[in-house]
Amino acid sequence: MMEEKLSKKHLEQLKQLCNEAGIKLTHQRLEIFCELIAHPGHPSAEMIHKRIHKKLPTIAIDTVYRTLATFDELGLIKKLHVMNERTLFDTNLDIHHHFICTRCKKVNDIYWSDFDNTTLPETIENMGKVESRHLEIHGICNSCLDKT
């Protein structure tokens, strides 16, 4: 059963958040959540749809997009808007940043507490209240460098 794949903690968190938001925990939402937990990282909606489609052949890509948007609103995942690329989804809710390979498009997590704790320039503080910081570093990963 798919619920057995989830830890009790994850399942209870999902049930509680859905209940608080007044949304039904459907079979499709549960399958998408299971897929996110089973394969953490930075998947696209298309990638998740492709994997889920094997189990649920009638699931529409629109259902996956809407479910991922709902999970983002509930705080279960974060939506990444990688520059000039498709939207990716991040299951890692810890404070972190991303290194994005410009060749293979792989996204790696970066933990950088010095950056997180630096004092922001006055020009930014004068713009308004900063609620979060996210840094994207674009470059070529070692794997791609080794291939050249």
- Residue 1 scores a pLDDT above 70: no
Residue 30: phi and psi, rounded to 5, are -65, -40
The single-letter code of the amino acid at 102 is T
Instruction: Provide the 3-class DSSP secondary structure of residue 145.
Output: helix
Residue ranges of the chain that CATH labels 3.30.1490.190: 94-147
| 39 vs 98: CA distance, rounded Å | 18
* Contact present, 48 and 86 (Cβ < 8 Å): no
Residue ranges of the chain that CATH labels 1.10.10.10: 2-81
Fold that domain 2-81 belongs to in CATH: Arc Repressor Mutant, subunit A (1.10.10)
Percent of the chain with pLDDT over 70: 94
Query: Is 141 assigned to a binding site?
Result: yes
The single-letter code of the amino acid at 140 is I
| 8 vs 29: CA distance, rounded Å | 16
Query: Is 101 assigned to a binding site?
Result: yes
What number is the average pLDDT over the span 31-55?
Answer: 91
Starting at the earlier edge strand, list the strands of the sheet with 107-110.
107-110, 97-101, 136-139
Least confident of 1-5, 22-26, 27-31, 124-128: 1-5
Query: Is 18 assigned to a binding site?
Result: no
CATH architecture assignment, domain 94-147: 2-Layer Sandwich (3.30)
What number is the average pLDDT over the span 57-85?
Answer: 90
